[in-house]
Structure 1
Amino acid sequence: MKKNTSGPRFKALLEAAKITTTGFAVFFDTEAQNIHNWYTRGVPAYRMEEVARLLSVNSDWLKTGEGPKESSRLRVLDEAGNTFDAQAIRGIYTVIEPIDVELPFYKETATAPGSNKTHVVKDPSQSIRLPRGHLDSLEINHADAICTHMIGNSMGEKIEDGSTLAIDRGLTQVIDGEIYAIEHDGMLRIKYLHRMPGNALRLRSYNKAEYPDEIFNAEQIDKQNIRVLGWVFWWSTLNKRRPSVPFL
């Protein structure tokens, strides 16, 4: 697999087109720092085709510097998913694309009717949509994002029971104090995670008064099938009570 060396070429293309880092970031609905990072790290693989299309160059050339630079045709997606050819006008980009991303929904469910054993599986009947700018600003691969519901009050008042969560499956490395979704022997759990000596793991709830810390050593993690599904990067909480209006 050829190395992604797109950073300097990407920067040169913006300079040639007189597009500022901030201007390109606004167009992408992301932070200027993210775009600036691409100058050294390279354009992320999942954005390569889109960036190449916007700048009217061949994506292979942008990535590696090899092959023809110019793209003979510009192909654009409309909201229905259809493609059509369009001409690129330097400095003026009109691209018809969905402004949000549909995330598949996962839930804990019984492995068989009447069984007490559960597992976490995709529910094809449900999904949510989030603004693509939210995912892009966190450099989350759209294909790695999934959603689920919070079950129980172990994270209340931080994340209330029934809240919808979004999870980045691309970040499963434990960073102390971050919130993760884990599958624990088929059970879906949302916890703060902390690494411990000996490859042990500490699970911490926001509601620590009712749910004390849990520590699992490496052997227990293996035997109890504990695996990190991903980093929780977004949640929504519905107020459970509508305030009464006085003096009516």
Structure 2
Amino acid sequence: MKDSYARLLKAARELKGARNEAAVAVLLDVSKQALHNWKSRGVPRKNLVEIEARIGAYPTWIATGEGRMSTGLQADQPGDPFIQEVVSAMRSMSSEDMRLMAELCRKISRKERHLAKTESMHVPRGLASHPTHHAAASPYWADRRVIERRQADNPNWQGVKDRRRYEGSLTHR
């Protein structure tokens, strides 16, 4: 059990520059007491994925010591220069900046899921199941928000029938 804790500290020190247990607690966003409990009980398996996201160490390596500690892109490895630039920028970030970036990513993904959920709820029944509707055929009508606005502006909106009429008028101009 203590081995996984020691590997966690080693990974935090080597990959993120954490100097002591308090820095590791801040880096992982856990209390010092919880981290102290991990010392005697071992690192909980449910936290391994979060640790991977925050530190970059493989969960298997922390739990068992087998395999590599991390992917660890080195500067001399061939690869996309953009990826190397992003990795070097992230290495130079403070732990507070990384925490804020992680929070921002979580908020963005929550908003995207919420937006996708609300958009799928408001698609007119006839349009969602119609086989001829796809974005390549009619880019103007592919945007569901436009469809919703049409329906809100005109309560008598007929869905696919009106779309065909609109597209037909565009081709005959």
TM range (shorter): 0.3 to 0.5
Q: Which has the higher contact order (CA 8 A, sep 6+)?
A: 2
Length-normalised TM-score, structure 1: 0.29
**Larger Rg belongs to:** 2
Quick check: which one's helix share is greater?
2
Quick check: which one's strand share is greater?
1
